[in-house]
Amino acid sequence: MDESWKSSWQRARNHEGVTRGARAFCALAAVLAWGWWAGWQAELMPVLLGVIASALTETDDSWRGRLRAQLLALGCFGLMALAVWATVAWPWALMGVLALSALAFTVLGALGERYRAIAFGSLVLFIYAALAAHTSRAGAAQATPLMLAGAAWYGLVSVAWAGAMPRAPVRFRLARLYAVLGEYLRLKALLLEPVRDVDLERRRMALALHNGRVVDALNAAKESLMSRMGRGQPPAWLQTAMHQYLAAQDVHERVSSSHEHYDLLATAFFHSDVLYRCQRVLTLLGEQSLKLSLAIQQQSLPQHGGMTSRAIEDLQAAIAHQDGIAADLVGTQGAASMARPLRSLHALGHNLAAMAGVFAGALAGDAAAQGAADHALLDREPRSLRDAWGRVRAQLHAQSPWLRHSVRLALSLLAGFALMQATSDPHGYWILLTIVFVSQPQYAATQTRLLQRAKGTAIGLAMGWAAIQLFPGALVQAALLVFAGAVFFGARHTRYVLATAAVTTLLLLGFHQMGMAQGVILARLLDTAAGCLIAAAASWLVLPHWQSRQWPRLAAQVLQTQALYLRAILAQYHSGKRDHLEYRLARRNAHNADAALSNSYSAMLKEPRSVRGNVEVVANFLRLSHTQLNYLSALGAQRGGAGADMDAADEEMASALLLSLQHLAEKLEQAQQASGARTGKAPAAPAVAQVLQEFGPTGSAPPHAPARSLMAAQLALVGKVFPQLQEQARQLVEPPHGRAV
């Protein structure tokens, strides 16, 4: 029992939501305790709002990075507070400043997650300051210092927490990475099931969609590690974490690789158990990944009983048995038909054994591997003001999702402010808060968020009313307020309905403490509904970012990054296997583009049917491009292994594939430009048709050479997928008849 409690405590203290909630609990509890001790109950609400706004700007970072971010956030908060003080007496001037702030700050989100959080928190504080000012400069002058004090207090708590406990966020992200990687291994194992009439296409699509989650987890873990890498030698715990992250990258490349069409393997070995043994090894590796995830969270040694090594021994024996059968067929007609699947089976077995070795090194924290590995990571944050301005300037065009989102948000806030003024609603700023919280760059995300917001608000109002009725004592209500704040920050990234219910309860209790609860419940409900309706209408009517319009560009990025990945792989075949930064970056960019494609497809399915375009073609392209990436990953996994040779014919075929991928990517980019000439309308058909004519026939893909080696076999597989991908690309950019895309 004690061990179970200890493991639960270790998981909780390393869980990101729990640590966020604990920080908020400490900050809010200290504010309330000080307010009660000093007799400042009336001044508590502005301080609490400042704490909330500051906490909204928080991202995973080292204490140094968090200190810089908090100082930048306080500077932005000061500017927002000054703008409110200067314009609060003139509502329409205040409205204009709010719209301009939304326009400017939202575009800054293109710089990275840290800047998106600061921009979001700054807009929230602007609205909080206007709410607390009560339309007078005197009110603004009184509330602003209290809000800034609350923001500075939470910043101090956040920086101190990051300095005292830097490991928990890294552990949480690594644990989540290995958890989603374990699920990916399970889904990949389903493809190896040698059963007739199995829907392989549906399983491939599930794998492609889940790959997006794996890539997101890899990127989150990388950013968490990157923020803690200093200039000197990293501490031992960080080196171990880096090794585990690089091991996860290696496993991802190996498990995402495919050495053959699975239906061909199923047909060739239908009367053998060898594919079931491959499937068992993959399943056990997936379980090992989940156990490693749990061990990282609990800070314990992963438990495994050696079943994987025995399963690999059984697999090798089964492959040897197939070799014996093939030897008996030498000189017969069946020998030639078995050569290709048997070669792929050997490559699959080698890959599984190597993957088990990578897992063993990650489980043991292999010090030798840590010392030999290249731990360099690419920092994607802007390195100077010139770099930052260059990135912002790159978003200043009509097709930029950030610029479109900023215009949409600014116009939504203008509409919300106008409604607030027209109805003389004293709590109308909640309309604006709702718009800021639910508006997202994508239509599907906005619709999901506003439904969650409405549901959470209704639940929170009911909970707040019940708490006021059941616990009339001010001290108990203050304790519930602190608890609600902790729940809000702990759940806002994972369970938004619960988070909204918690923050609604917090605000209701806060207004009741100040004696201003009369009419708040109905006002909150109506204002939330109004804000949701405005945000929903804006996401539909104001520069909508429909996914069907983005697909030619996203598809072009997939092909271009796969070409660069293939080029990096070929360089490794010449120079020898080295997991250096350049190679890992090419691999990661290819998977990032694939993940962007799958995420876009998921968002497309939540959009109105009239704007989805040809969903079947989109699904086919996603499945084929992911399959092509699997074949390229197999080439990457074979680097430095037996049979990883390349002759002149292989080089010629690889060069042809590179040119074909780049050529198709260029044509898709041209088609995107042609169809994007008239945003919001049907693409200009003649321009698109002209681009399509240059695609060439599907037979213009690289020639299929006979598979003389593993390299040739993988290149031949890519060469067979490419014509199908080319045909789907053609259909992708053709305008549907009688319908705008």
Please state the three-class secondary structure of 160-223 as a single string: HHHHHCCHHHHHHHHHHHHHHHHHHHHHHHHCCCCCCCCCHHHHHHHHHHHHHHHHHHHHHHHH
Tokens of 553: 């560009």
DSSP string, 643-704: T----HHHHHHHHHHHHHHHHHHHHHHHHHHHHTTSTTS---HHHHHHHHHTT--GGGSPP-
pLDDT of residue 119: 92
DSSP result, 486-555 = HHHHHHTTT-HHHHHHHHHHHHHHHHHHTT--TTHHHHHHHHHHHHHHHHHHHHHHSS---GGGTHHHHH
Report the distance separating Cα 735 and Cα 741, nearest Å: 7
Whole-angstrom distance, CA of residue 167 vs CA of residue 66: 15
Confidence of residue 5 (pLDDT cuts 50, 70, 90): low
Share of the chain above pLDDT 70, in %: 87
Residue 1 has pLDDT above 50, yes or no: no
Question: DSSP secondary-structure letter at 60?
Answer: S
263 pLDDT band, cuts 50/70/90, is: confident
Q: What is the pLDDT of residue 148?
A: 93
Helix (H) or strand (E) holding 557: helix 551-575
Q: Which residue has the higher pLDDT, 463 or 271?
A: 463
Torsion of CA 225, 230, 231, 232, to 10 degrees: -100
Residue 60 has pLDDT above 70, yes or no: yes
pLDDT tens per residue, range 621-654: 999 999 999 999 988 888 766 555 677 888 888 8
CB 450 within 8 A of CB 497: no
How high is the mean pLDDT of the chain?
Answer: 83
User: Among the listed ranges 38-42, 117-121, 713-717, which one has the minimum average pLDDT value?
Assistant: 38-42
Predicted pLDDT of residue 15: 76
Q: CA end-to-end span of the chain, whole Å?
A: 60
Q: Indicate the pLDDT class of residue 686, thresholds 50, 70 and 90.
A: very low
What does the pLDDT read at residue 699?
Answer: 41
Per the CB < 8 A criterion, the answer to whether 211 and 256 are in contact is yes
Tens-place pLDDT, residues 73-90: 999 999 999 999 999 888
pLDDT-based confidence at residue 412 (cuts at 50, 70, 90): very high
Summarize the confidence of residues 99-124 as an average pLDDT: 90
Q: Per residue in 469-516, pLDDT tens?
A: 888 887 888 888 889 989 999 898 889 999 999 999 988 887 777 666
> Quick check: helix, strand or coil at residue 397?
coil
pLDDT tens figures, 587-608: 999 999 999 999 999 999 998 8
Q: Quick count: other Cβ atoms within 10 Å of Cβ 371?
A: 10
Is the pLDDT reported for residue 289 higher than 50?
yes
At 170-227, the pLDDT tens digits run 999 999 999 999 999 999 999 888 887 777 888 888 998 999 999 999 999 998 998 8
Measured in degrees and rounded to the nearest 5, phi and psi for residue 46 equal -60, -35
Number of DSSP helices (H) and strands (E) in the chain, helices first: 28, 0
pLDDT at 414: 95
Q: Span 537-554, mean pLDDT?
A: 89
Query: Residue 328 — pLDDT band, cuts 50, 70, 90?
Result: confident
- pLDDT tens digits, 313-326: 999 999 898 888 87
Q: How many CA atoms lie within 13 A of 622 on its CB side?
A: 30
Q: Identify the band that residue 335 occupies on the pLDDT scale cut at 50, 70 and 90.
A: low
pLDDT at 516: 60
CA gyration radius, the chain: 29
Higher pLDDT, 504 or 398: 504
